[in-house]
């Protein structure tokens, strides 16, 4: 079977790596270029937004399954376009992808189906905005309604800062059209965790839970990033919590989406805050997380092609999704200066040596240039360790990290330690 993967980050490399192990998959294509995926498949030059061109390629090449990594093509309706041509594709429709592309849609859905989340209101102009912000004991969180490349969430330290942030988004266009409306919601407290449900719109099964490390520096200091590392399974997602999330969050959302006329297929990512009152939803994403995928895939015991096809064909209920009893940890190697401005084109060395140490390396922001691998993104590589215990997985990951170098490389030294406490 021929598989096409859309996206060229660490998430997509991890998916390609796992699909390569499938007994069904004979050829992997991916677009745009990723040097890691290029070592196991063929890379194309289409950007993820080029839906017509990608569709044309899939039809001509006879692609058996397309897997969508990032949220942007999902929000643009790539699943609808492929399905209209009779092609199999893993992911939600444009209408269902609103669970990520519109925070207002997601919050309204949760309110309607009694899914636990933070108290909120939506605003498209300033009338009543300051009064609502001031009604919270703690400064509320301000979120741009639409997709803002992971930067549309502001966690202010004062009420005045919250109001000013809201005005910057609404009236000064800080996030462009993504901020035409905003969601103002109460600030929740507690540890965070992520859960991922494979679903066909009716039934669902869970991949391993994970815990991301968002802040750029050790000890959760510094600005938020796309993620500096992760470990799985999350030590905080106990069986009682898992059961509660399934019963009170995932099941009602999947059922609610079907009732709203936009059945949800693909993977549903629930970002959770584990409060003293139980798990509550921070956000939903309409795709796998990054860097969580890099630790979920090594723990998935089974054929990933079969898992994706169960979603596509509506047979998730009879599919056995099994996760390893072990642990995995990934450390993100980032460019100096990330998440702010950073330089590109730094030559990377030591990837093969890292893998000889037992680590698996997934490419996130790299490219091939004059026969060498160089940096081209903020998050450059994911170095993954898998073992029967979390401590051993962490040790393997950092053993690999020590083998890799490029100018101004930065990384956290405490990935996974939360899971050891």
Predicted local distance difference test score (pLDDT) of residue 113: 98
The count of structural domains within the chain is: 4
Answer yes or no: do 337 and 396 share one domain: yes
In a domain, 251, yes or no: yes
Residue 127: band (very low, low, confident or very high) from pLDDT cuts 50, 70, 90: very high
pLDDT of 79 higher than 80? yes
Mean pLDDT, to the nearest integer, of 326-354?
97
Q: Token digits for 285?
A: 């994403």
In a domain, 99, yes or no: no
Spacing of C-alpha 368 from chain mean position: 25
pTM above 0.85, yes or no: yes
Answer yes or no: do 197 and 319 share one domain: yes
Task: Please tell me the distance from the alpha carbon of residue 186 to that of residue 119, in angstroms, as a whole number.
Answer: 6
Spacing of C-alpha 321 from chain mean position: 20
Host H or E run for residue 84? helix 78-84
Q: Which of 215-224, 254-263, 296-305, 395-404 bottoms out in mean pLDDT, i.e. has the lowest?
A: 215-224
Predicted local distance difference test score (pLDDT) of residue 152: 84
In a domain, 315, yes or no: yes
Predicted local distance difference test score (pLDDT) of residue 334: 98
In a domain, 240, yes or no: yes
Q: What CA–CA distances, in Å, run from 274 to 118, 190, 211, 277, 280? A: 12, 5, 12, 8, 6
DSSP character string of 267-306: EEEEEEEEETTEEEEEEEESS--TTTHHHHHHHEES-HHH
In a domain, 105, yes or no: no
Beta bridge partners of 301: 322
Query: Could you tell me which of 63, 58, 52, 13 has the C-alpha nearest to residue 34?
Result: 13
Predicted local distance difference test score (pLDDT) of residue 224: 84
- CB-CB contact of 138 with 187 (8 Å): yes
Q: What is the mean pLDDT of the chain?
A: 96
Answer yes or no: do 230 and 305 share one domain: yes
CATH (domain of 197):
3.30.470.20
Answer yes or no: do 207 and 315 share one domain: yes
In a domain, 114, yes or no: no
Answer yes or no: do 208 and 308 share one domain: yes
Answer yes or no: do 45 and 142 share one domain: no
Residue 133: band (very low, low, confident or very high) from pLDDT cuts 50, 70, 90: very high
Predicted local distance difference test score (pLDDT) of residue 172: 87
Answer yes or no: do 219 and 294 share one domain: yes
Q: 44, 72, 91 — which closes off a domain?
A: 91
CATH (domain of 158):
3.30.1490.20
Q: 323, 355, 378 — which closes off a domain?
A: 323
Answer yes or no: do 299 and 219 share one domain: yes
Task: Please tell me the distance from the alpha carbon of residue 294 to that of residue 297, in angstroms, as a whole number.
Answer: 6
Burial 69-94 (b: 16+ CB within 10 A, else e): bbbbbbbbbbbbbbeeeebbbbbbbb
- CB-CB contact of 374 with 35 (8 Å): no
Mean pLDDT, to the nearest integer, of 364-368?
97
In a domain, 354, yes or no: yes
Predicted local distance difference test score (pLDDT) of residue 297: 98
What would you report as the CA-atom Rg of the chain, rounded to the nearest whole angstrom?
21
Q: 185, 205, 228 — which closes off a domain?
A: 185
Task: Please tell me the distance from the alpha carbon of residue 254 to that of residue 262, in angstroms, as a whole number.
Answer: 10
Mean pLDDT, to the nearest integer, of 278-289?
96
- CB-CB contact of 201 with 257 (8 Å): yes
Answer yes or no: do 308 and 202 share one domain: yes
Q: Which domain holds residue 362?
A: 328-420
CA angle 28, 384, 374 (to 5 degrees): 70
How many alpha carbons lie under 13 Å from residue 227 in its C-beta half-sphere? 28
Answer yes or no: do 245 and 282 share one domain: yes
Beta bridge partners of 198: 205, 267
Phi-psi category of 371—alpha, beta or left, where left has phi over 0 and alpha has psi -120 to 50? Answer: left
Answer yes or no: do 82 and 29 share one domain: yes
Q: Give me the residue label for tokens 């390609």.
A: 16
Mean pLDDT, to the nearest integer, of 317-326?
96
How many alpha carbons lie under 13 Å from residue 23 in its C-beta half-sphere? 3
CATH (domain of 363):
3.90.600.10
- CB-CB contact of 346 with 338 (8 Å): no
pLDDT of 151 higher than 80? no
DSSP 140: P
- CB-CB contact of 224 with 339 (8 Å): yes
CATH (domain of 40):
3.40.50.20
In a domain, 37, yes or no: yes
Answer yes or no: do 238 and 295 share one domain: yes
Predicted local distance difference test score (pLDDT) of residue 153: 87
DSSP, collapsed to helix, strand or coil, labels residue 132 as: helix
Query: Could you tell me which of 354, 409, 353 has the C-alpha nearest to residue 377?
Result: 409
């Amino acid at each position: 079977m021929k598989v096409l993967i859309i996206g060229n980050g660490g998430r997509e490399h991890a998916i390609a790596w796992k699909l390569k192990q499938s007994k069904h998959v004979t050829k992997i294509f991916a677009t745009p270029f990723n040097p890691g995926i290029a070592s196991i498949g063929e890379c194309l030059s289409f950007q993820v937004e080029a839906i017509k061109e990608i569709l044309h390629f899939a039809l001509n090449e006879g692609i058996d399954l397309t897997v969508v990594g990032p949220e942007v093509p999902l929000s643009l309706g790539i699943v609808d376009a492929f399905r209209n041509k009779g092609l199999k594709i893993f992911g939600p429709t444009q209408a269902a992808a609103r669970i990520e592309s519109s925070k207002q849609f997601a919050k309204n859905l949760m309110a309607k189906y009694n899914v636990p989340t933070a108290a909120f209101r939506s605003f498209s102009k300033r009338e009543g905005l300051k009064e609502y912000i001031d009604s919270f004991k703690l400064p509320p969180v301000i979120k741009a309604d639409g997709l803002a490349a992971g930067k549309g969430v502001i966690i202010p330290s004062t009420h005045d800062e919250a109001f000013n942030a809201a005005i910057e988004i609404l009236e000064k266009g800080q996030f462009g059209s993504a901020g035409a409306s905003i969601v103002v919601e109460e600030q929740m407290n507690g540890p965070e965790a992520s859960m991922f449900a494979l679903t066909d719109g009716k039934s669902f099964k869970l991949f391993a839970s994970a815990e991301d490390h968002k802040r750029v520096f050790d000890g959760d200091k510094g600005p938020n990033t796309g993620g500096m590392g992760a470990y799985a399974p999350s030590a905080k997602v106990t069986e009682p919590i898992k059961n509660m999330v399934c019963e009170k969050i995932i099941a009602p959302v999947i059922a609610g989406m079907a009732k709203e006329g936009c059945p949800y297929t693909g993977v549903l990512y629930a970002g959770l805050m584990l409060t003293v009152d139980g798990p509550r939803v921070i956000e939903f994403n309409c795709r796998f997380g990054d860097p969580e995928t890099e630790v979920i895939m090594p723990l998935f015991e089974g054929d990933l092609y079969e898992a994706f096809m169960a979603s596509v064909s509506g047979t998730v209920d009879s599919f056995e999704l099994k996760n390893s009893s072990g642990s995995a940890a990934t450390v993100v190697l980032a460019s100096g200066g990330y998440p702010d401005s950073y330089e590109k084109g730094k030559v990377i060395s030591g990837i093969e040596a890292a893998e000889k140490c037992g680590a698996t390396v997934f490419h996130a922001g790299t490219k091939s240039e004059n026969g060498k691998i160089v940096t081209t993104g903020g998050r450059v590589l994911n170095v993954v360790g898998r073992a029967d215990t979390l401590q051993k997985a962490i040790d393997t990951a950092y053993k690999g990290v020590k083998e890799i170098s490029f100018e101004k490389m930065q990384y956290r030294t405490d990935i996974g330690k939360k899971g050891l406490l």
